[in-house]
Amino acid sequence: MPIEYPAANGGGVLNEHSAVRNSVGLFDVSHLGKASVSGEGALDYLNSIFTNDLRKISDGQAQYTLLCQKDSGGVIDDLIIYRYSSKHFLLIPNAANCQQVLEQISKDAPSSLEFKNLHESYALFALQGMNSLAVLKDLGIDINLEYMSFMESELNSEALIICRTGYTGEHGYEILTSWAGARKIWDLLLEKVKKYSGLPAGLGARDTLRTEMGYALHGHELSLDITPVEASASWAVAFDKKFWGKSVLEKQKLEKSHRRLAAILISDRGIPRAGMEIKDKDGNKIGYVTSGTFSPSLKSGIALGLFNNQIPVGSEVFIDIRGRISQGVIKRLPFLPSKVK
């Protein structure tokens, strides 16, 4: 996945970001992992491991969830799980974590379960933006999906799995197809995307779009050292069931003394980056930036930061940007209204 597509063809992070927010963009996210878990007892076993409750979704629906370390509660990975049935699930982990996720969850699994790494079986494209549905319908795909639900379809004799989800805050879809047919499907999608004045989009725009929405990125807002409670991801944690790391997360939630994630809107021309120190008005370090970028929509620097304590909305903070102190204010997430539901 490129950082950006050539400016000579209308690309570049700012143009690609704008295309997604105002029309439609197409991402090649085939680097993401793909794996399956199937067999008798798959639902109960997976539900005893992952934070979210798979019993709360039906066949044909997908769910965001997290896999935590048993002892520390740190996040091994965050992922999307597609539920085909109580005996068959498709997992979409982060690229670098796919094999680790499979190794962890299969280690003490019942013998009735089968685990498959399907990374080289599927390509994955993300079609995002207000015109994403029009693109699919223009290709002859009859689709009417609720948010976080999926269906099987076909395009030009290639089988597709289409899920209504995405990482941008816009109406969109993620589309799985075979590796063999990937180029053909990409070309067909891109032709229609361009018809609606859209663009192919790269990693740079993906990052600015997700940061505007406050969506966590593993290795930044979530990691082995950052729990879902600290990362404000408790909405994806079902505390009324078993899961790995539950005791740690319950303790954090009860004591309320843990670090907390917050959003920062920069008041001057500074652009914060991950790892930069966040200070209070007296110059005391109170946290650090987990993700920072320039927001093309807000025309300002924005950041997500992990703080040592709770910082009220509206508080002023200061970020050391390469020796220059930039001022910011704590905001509620997301920076922009979400359009995904």
User: What is the b/e burial string over 162-181, where b = at least 16 CB atoms within 10 angstroms of the residue's CB?
Assistant: bbbbbbbbbbbbbbbbeeeb
C-alpha neighbours within 13 Å on the C-beta side of residue 95: 9
Burial class (CB in 10 A: 0-12, 13-18, 19+), 1: middle
Instruction: Tell me the per-residue pLDDT of 164-192, one tens digit each, with 9 for 90 and over.
Output: 999 999 999 999 999 999 999 999 999 99
What is the residue whose two structure tokens read 């002859």? Answer: 140
Give, as one character, the DSSP assignment of residue 290.
Answer: E
Ramachandran region, residue 229 (left: φ > 0; alpha: ψ -120 to 50; beta: rest): alpha
| SS3 annotation, 199-231 | EEECHHHHHHHHHHHCCCCECCCEECCECCCCC
What is the side-by-side order of every strand in the sheet holding 114-117?
A: 61-68, 75-85, 88-92, 35-38, 114-117
100-107 — which CB contacts under 8 Å span 24+ positions? Answer: 100/76, 101/33, 101/35, 101/67, 101/76, 101/77, 102/35, 104/67, 104/76, 105/37, 105/46, 105/49, 105/67
pLDDT of 132 > 80? The answer is yes
Instruction: Tell me what the mean pLDDT of segment 77-93 comes to.
Output: 98
Instruction: Tell me the per-residue pLDDT of 217-257, one tens digit each, with 9 for 90 and over.
Output: 999 999 999 999 999 999 999 999 999 999 999 999 998 88
Distances (CA, A) of 219 to 52, 83, 326: 20, 26, 24
What is the residue whose two structure tokens read 């395009």? Answer: 155
Per-residue confidence (pLDDT) for residue 82, from 0 to 100: 98
Taken in order of first residue, the domains within the chain and their CATH numbers are 7-31+121-212 (3.30.1360.120), 35-117 (3.30.70.1400), 259-341 (2.40.30.110)
The rounded Cα 33 to chain-centroid distance in angstroms is 13
Per-residue confidence (pLDDT) for residue 236, from 0 to 100: 98
Instruction: Tell me what the mean pLDDT of segment 104-121 comes to.
Output: 96
What is the residue whose two structure tokens read 């499907």? Answer: 185
Alpha carbon dihedral 193, 196, 197, 202, in 10-degree steps, equals -30
Distance (Å, whole) CA 160 – CA 181: 10
Per-residue confidence (pLDDT) for residue 7, from 0 to 100: 82
- To the nearest whole percent, how much of the chain has pLDDT over 90? 93
Distances (CA, A) of 323 to 10, 265, 276: 35, 19, 10
Tally Cβ neighbours within 10 Å of residue 160.
20
Nearest alpha-carbon partner for 199 in 12, 29, 32: 12
Distances (CA, A) of 63 to 83, 201, 224, 235, 302: 8, 25, 21, 12, 28
pLDDT of 9 > 80? The answer is no
Per-residue confidence (pLDDT) for residue 1, from 0 to 100: 84
Distance (Å, whole) CA 123 – CA 183: 9
Higher pLDDT among residues 11 and 33, named by residue: 33
Per-residue confidence (pLDDT) for residue 310, from 0 to 100: 82
Instruction: Tell me what the mean pLDDT of segment 50-72 comes to.
Output: 98
Distance (Å, whole) CA 211 – CA 295: 8
Residue 182 is encoded by which pair of tokens? 């990937």
Helix (H, G, I), strand (E, B) or coil at 304: strand
pLDDT of 339 > 90? The answer is no
Distance (Å, whole) CA 133 – CA 221: 30
The rounded Cα 117 to chain-centroid distance in angstroms is 20
For the ranges 70-84, 203-217, 326-340, the lowest mean pLDDT is seen at: 326-340
User: What pTM was computed for the model?
Assistant: 0.95
Helix axis angle, 13-22 to 203-213, nearest 10°: 50
Run of H or E including 189: helix 182-195
Rg (CA), the chain: 20
Round the average pLDDT of the chain to a whole number and report it.
96
